[in-house]
Structure 1
Amino acid sequence: MQGFIIKLTRAREEDMIVTIIAEENLHTLYRFYGARHSPINLGFKIDFEAEYSIKSSIGRLRDVIHLGFPWIGQYERIRLWQQFIALFHPHLKDSESIGDFYFTLLEDAAQRWKDQNPKRVAIETYVRLLDYEGRLHKELTCFFCDLPIEEDISLIRAFLPAHQHCSHTLSINSKGLEWLYTHASTLFLDDNEVERLWYVLNEGF
């Protein structure tokens, strides 16, 4: 099966506990003697086998093959990818059967990562995630004061809307925000707005 590594935790010696978003499930597996096998890293897409035994509460990661992307050698792109994909672990860590949505979402993002601004891809991907989970707040009511927002819209963690004067953060233009929410596209957001939303995204899903 295939999946994306969203967390690596060192165990004893060179062993690793590896958390993977696969095509249907979230897997947490033990990899013995990591230094003696092909290297793996956060964000890698891999083909692998999971071996289970009644003798252990955690499955074993076996037969790992790294499925690379064309941009994997570009430092800035891989750094941003690892920063983005690590956010999935705290969000999904208590899940097991997650369906194919998250794998497909990451697959699409990884394909677009090469040719587009990675921060824009991450923001657009996150909006799709929020929409899928029913957490995309399209009604513009301020999270802080619970009053309607007619102008100077700002977004806080989980892209919750707020008045700029309530959140004391950079505002987002209403046309750009509407387009983002309707089309999962940052087309009408400028670079400063993208930087602001990238910062918000990294506060957690």
Structure 2
Amino acid sequence: MQGYILQIQKIKDEDCIVYILTNSSLVKSYRFYGARHSKITQGYKLDFELEHSMTFLPRLVNTMHLGHRWLINRDKLFLWQQFIRLFYEHLKELNDVEEIYFNVLEECALKLDKQNAKRLFIEAYAKILDAEGRLHNCDFCFLCDYEIGDKVALARGFLPSHEHCMNQNGFDKDEIEEFFKTKKSLNLSDETVNRLYNILLDGF
């Protein structure tokens, strides 16, 4: 099996519970510490096997990290692990998951070596919101239900609102609507990308 390590929880000594996102499930497994066992790291793609138990979690065995060149870039790895944590918080109560989540991570991992991390992640965030039916148009404020003008403020999950309702500066509405439609950040300024990324960090 293959998947991305979303979370590692230490439980005793060096033993831990490891949450791995595959293309169909969020695997919760037990990893015991031993001299012959390689270190595992949050955010890495892992090839692994499970030894099932009648009384406890399946044991994580025969693990191998599947690396990417960008993993040695500390800045990109930091942003990647931030993004990965959002997936854990969003999916942690589930067992079976839609393939979209794994596919989006796979696409990001393959592109991250050559693309800007923040741009890549806000595009991925928009794709997931859209797949979940939660990427709204910018016509009406989610707080007061009145029509939005030329500027749109965005809350967690890119929910649109008036600047005064959110008490924050908005974005150019046409730019945001184009971004929501295309899921491409090419026409967005670096400042806009940074602001959208900060909203992303609030979670799905």
Q: TM-score, normalised by structure 2?
A: 0.96
Task: Tell me, yes or no, if structure 1 residue 27 matches structure 2 residue 27.
Answer: yes
> 2:9 aligns to what?
9
Q: CA deviation at 1:34?
A: 5.8
Task: Tell me, yes or no, if structure 1 residue 169 matches structure 2 residue 168.
Answer: yes
Q: CA deviation at 1:115?
A: 1.1
**Where does 1:96-135 land on structure 2 (aligned, <5 Å)?**
96-135=95-134
The AA in structure 2 aligned to 1:22 is: T
> 1:47 aligns to what?
47
Contact 2:138 2:177 in 1 (8 A): no
* Runs of 4+ residues over 2 Å off in structure 1: none
The AA in structure 1 aligned to 2:4 is: F
Q: Give ranges in structure 1 of 5+ residues lacking alignment.
A: none
SS of equivalent residue, structure 2 residue 59: strand
The AA in structure 2 aligned to 1:131 is: D
Aligned equivalents of 1:166 and 1:86: distance in 2?
Answer: 29
CA displacement, residues 30-74 of structure 1 (integer Å, 9 cap, x when unaligned): 001066411111100010011211121x11111100000110000
Q: CA deviation at 1:11?
A: 1.2
Contact 2:138 2:152 in 1 (8 A): no
SS of equivalent residue, structure 2 residue 50: strand
Aligned equivalents of 2:106 and 2:34: distance in 1?
Answer: 25
Aligned equivalents of 2:92 and 2:143: distance in 1?
Answer: 29
The AA in structure 1 aligned to 2:17 is: I
> 2:75 aligns to what?
76
The sequence identity of aligned pairs, in percent, is 42
Q: TM-score, normalised by structure 1?
A: 0.95
Contact 1:6 1:85 in 2 (8 A): yes
Change (3 A) 1:193 1:139: closer
Q: CA deviation at 1:22?
A: 0.6
Q: Give ranges in structure 2 of 5+ residues lacking alignment.
A: none
Q: How much is the aligned-residue C-alpha RMSD, in angstroms?
A: 1.3
> 2:182 aligns to what?
183
